[in-house]
């Protein structure tokens, strides 16, 4: 049985679709409270983004439809589930978004959808919203479009031409892992080839160079190892120039529970959330700290430590690297010190141009992070 609301109005559809969009958690992880997704007073999810000026605003996020012909085991909206199904028309979506935008409640639009019939038919609906906003309403702001797996090259190129950012979720590290979750999606032609096409379309010097490409892994649904995810992530950044990679901890109880079809215990849920957090830490090490894939240390089970962050794990494996001379070391060496982030290191570099740093107190207020750094530094 599939629950269908007969002739819901636009407000009812938005309440359903905005709530269902929470299952796509890309962009939901951050280092401060202000960076996490929030639910507005009317029940709709809004997502924070950092503006080019350095300020903050929010994205209006919704599904165009929660009808879906796919069978992804981790997804509560897959075809076999009994949920309330509805769809927005492109003109309804554009109107509601513009109402929010004109009231200065949101900065831009994040639009996704279940698969309605076929990938190309669904992508045409998503692109139609962007076409209306760009061509009819002359909207020149931020639009993020989800690319539907299995869509044609022409539909991908149109989405890239209309959007500020696009994303196609890679979901798993490899074909075998995806096969554990879906019998319908084909890893190479439906996911990897379109990601490669987007990379070519948005590459340096290309017509659409300004468009950012992101992707997302589902963590813990396919029995994959962190080492596999990190290997794929490193390739996405270095070979395909991915702008950002996101991670979404599998939400047990929303899909079939796991590959074994069992509901996860609370401890298992906590573990997969920590796995997601550790993967984000690795992501920062690769993008911001100069680490390579070979620098990431895994436990015997192929996963990251749940008790020690990946930078400190590396430090413990390389005692010969320390202590680092806070007054002489290059920035690249300081970035290897547990507890020191880019902003603290910038402060160190600025301060030591003016005077000698004689103790950890000269670096800043000693809290948990600087306390962690102290044993790895010399003055």
Residues 171-201: pLDDT tens digits?
999 999 999 988 889 999 999 999 999 999 9
CB 357 within 8 A of CB 338: no
Q: Is the pLDDT of residue 258 over 70?
A: no
What is the Cα–Cα distance from 11 to 129, expressed in whole angstroms?
Answer: 18
Q: Is the pLDDT of residue 18 over 70?
A: no
Q: Is the pLDDT of residue 278 over 60?
A: yes
Per cent of the chain over pLDDT 90 is 60
Pairing of strands 244-249, 142-146: unpaired
What is the pLDDT confidence band of residue 348, given thresholds at 50, 70 and 90? very high
pTM here is: 0.84
| Residue-level pLDDT at 2 | 42
What is the Cα–Cα distance from 75 to 253, expressed in whole angstroms?
Answer: 10
> Which residues of the chain form beta strands (DSSP E)?
38-39, 45-50, 56-63, 108-112, 142-146, 165-167, 212-219, 244-249, 324-325, 377-378
> Which residues of 244-326 form beta strands (DSSP E)?
244-249, 324-325
Per cent of the chain over pLDDT 70 is 79
Domains of the chain listed by start with CATH number? 10-262 (3.20.20.70), 318-378 (1.10.150.320)
């Amino acid at each position: 049985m599939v629950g269908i609301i007969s002739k819901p109005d636009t407000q009812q559809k938005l309440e359903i679709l905005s709530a269902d969009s929470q299952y796509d958690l890309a962009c939901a992880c951050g280092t401060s409270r202000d960076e996490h997704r929030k639910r507005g007073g009317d029940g709709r999810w809004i997502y924070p983004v950092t503006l080019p000026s350095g300020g903050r605003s929010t994205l209006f996020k919704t599904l165009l439809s929660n009808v879906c012909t796919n069978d992804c085991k981790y997804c509560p909206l897959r075809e076999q589930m009994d949920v309330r199904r509805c769809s927005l028309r492109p003109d309804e979506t554009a109107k509601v978004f513009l109402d929010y935008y004109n009231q200065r409640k949101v900065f831009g639009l994040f639009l996704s959808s279940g698969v309605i019939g076929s990938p190309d038919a669904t992508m045409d609906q998503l692109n139609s919203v962007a076409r209306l906003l760009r061509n009819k309403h002359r909207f020149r702001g931020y639009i993020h479009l989800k690319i539907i797996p299995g869509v044609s090259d022409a539909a991908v190129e149109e989405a890239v031409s209309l959007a500020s950012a696009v994303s196609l979720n890679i979901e798993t590290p490899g074909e075998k892992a995806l096969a554990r979750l879906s019998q319908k999606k084909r890893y190479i032609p439906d996911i990897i080839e379109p990601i490669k096409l987007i990379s070519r379309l948005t590459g340096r010097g290309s017509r659409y160079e300004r468009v950012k490409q992101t992707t997302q892994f589902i963590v813990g649904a396919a029995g994959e190892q962190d080492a596999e995810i990190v290997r794929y992530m490193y390739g996405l950044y270095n070979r395909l120039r991915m702008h950002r990679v996101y991670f979404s901890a599998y939400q047990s109880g929303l899909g079939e529970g796991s590959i074994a079809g069992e509901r996860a215990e609370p401890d298992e849920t906590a573990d997969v959330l920590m796995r997601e957090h550790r993967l984000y830490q690795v992501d920062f090490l690769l993008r911001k700290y100069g680490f390579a894939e070979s620098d990431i240390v895994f436990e015997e089970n192929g996963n990251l430590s749940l008790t020690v962050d990946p930078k400190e794990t590396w430090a413990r494996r390389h005692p010969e690297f320390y202590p680092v001379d806070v007054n002489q070391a290059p920035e690249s060496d300081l970035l290897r010190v547990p507890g020191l982030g880019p902003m603290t290191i910038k402060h160190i570099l600025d301060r030591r141009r003016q005077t000698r740093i004689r103790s950890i107190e000269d670096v800043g207020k000693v809290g948990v992070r600087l306390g962690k750094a102290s044993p790895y530094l010399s003055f």
